Every structure is written in C-alpha cells, then in structure tokens.
Amino acid sequence: MVYMKNNESELEIETTNDDTIELEETELIDEEEKSNDKLKKLREKVAQCEDEKKQLLDDLQRSRADFLNARKRLEEERARDHIRQRKAHVEELLPLCDSFEMAMSNKEAWEKTDEIWRKGIEGINNQLMRLLESYDVKVIDPKGTSFDPYRDEAVGTEVVEDEKLVDTIVTVLQRGYELQVDDTTEVIRHARVTTGVLKN
C-alpha cells in the first residue's frame, strides 16, 4: 500500500502485487544489463591484456634470441681473432725457424762446430719447436710424398730416372707450416719444393 499526501490529507492507494513484481523485474533487468555491460567491458579488457602480454612475451623471446645470437657471434669472432693472432705470431717466427734450419742443414759443417755452442743452438731450436707445437703448428716436410698443391709450392723440377718419382717431391727447399684448428688444418706457409720429371 502507498500513502500520498495531497493538500494535507492522506490518500491511500492500494497497489497490487503484480505491479510490484513488474517494477522489481524491470529493476533487475536494468541491473542485469548494467552487469552484462560491465562484464563485457571487463572481458574486453582481459582480452586486450592477454594480447599485450602475448606481444610482450614475443618481444622478450625475440630479444633473448637476438641476445643469444649476438653473444654466439661475438664468441665466434673472438675465437677467429685468437686464431688470427696466433697465426700472425707464428708467421713472425718463421724466418727464425728458417735460420735455424739453414744453420743446421749442412751436416758436415755443423758437426765441426764447437759442441757446447752446437748443443746450445739445438736447445734454442728445440724450444722454438715446442713453442710452435703449443700453438698446434706442425712442420710440413713432404719429401718423398706426392705433390699436393694445397700444401706444397713447386718452384722447380728435377730430372729423375725412376718413373715412380714423377710428380713426387724430390727436394724441400723451404719447409712449410700448418695450423691445426679443431678438425681443420690451415696452411700458414706452403712448403717450397721441387718435383721429379722424366728426362726427355
């Protein structure tokens, strides 16, 4: 029941239960629509946040991959620099190796020198060879083997009588050197050689 004041007198108006129910249903529908709108907006916001999160994760993974690739390239470049430096150092030592080899190549003259002096020079040469070994450098002394253009540099020919010695290295004029890097071998200096040919 609803009471209304009208000119200082109260009027009594009776309402039915149906009107009240209808009013409540209308209010509930309005509230439900508002709730649905809020829920829709929240779902849109959650979807937007999920998209942003996915984008950020993608960016993070891309950045991480870029970083790892850059670090790998840097490590590879450092390793190559180290090999280049080692190779350059060995190249600087090669004239010294050649000098020792030349000094000791004439066996007759070498045997005639003072024994103490000779042993001192041989000791220094051995130290030099150990230093090269520590750099994974090996001497190329291909005498008696087949000529290999990747390893040897032919600077002349020598006449041979045996047909088996054709294209075989007869004399090594200057030893070569190669550097072992992991599973590969890189020639630092080719061996200078003469190869055998048959007399015409």
DSSP string for 125-170:
HHHHHHHHHHTTEEEE--TTSBP-TTTEEEEEEEEESSGGGBTBEE
Q: What residue ranges do the domains of the chain occupy?
A: 139-200
- DSSP-based three-state secondary structure for 15: coil
- DSSP-based three-state secondary structure for 189: strand
Tell me: pLDDT of 185 over 50: yes
Q: How confident is the model over 6-33, as a mean pLDDT? A: 62
For residue 68, what pLDDT is reported? 95
Burial of 196 from C-beta contacts in 10 A (0-12 / 13-18 / 19+): buried
CB 142, CB 165: distance < 8 Å: no
Range 139-200: architecture per CATH? Roll (2.30)
Phi-psi region of 37 (alpha: psi -120 to 50; beta: other; left: phi over 0): alpha
For residue 19, what pLDDT is reported? 62
Count each helix (H run) and each strand (E run) in the chain, helices first: 3, 8
Tell me: pLDDT of 15 over 80: no
CB 173, CB 192: distance < 8 Å: yes
When pLDDT is cut at 50, 70 and 90, the band that residue 133 belongs to is: very high
pTM for the whole structure: 0.63
Which tens digit of pLDDT belongs to each residue from 50-95? 999 999 999 999 999 999 999 999 999 999 898 889 899 999 999 9
Q: CA–CA distance from 36 to each of 23, 42, 101 (Å)?
A: 20, 10, 95
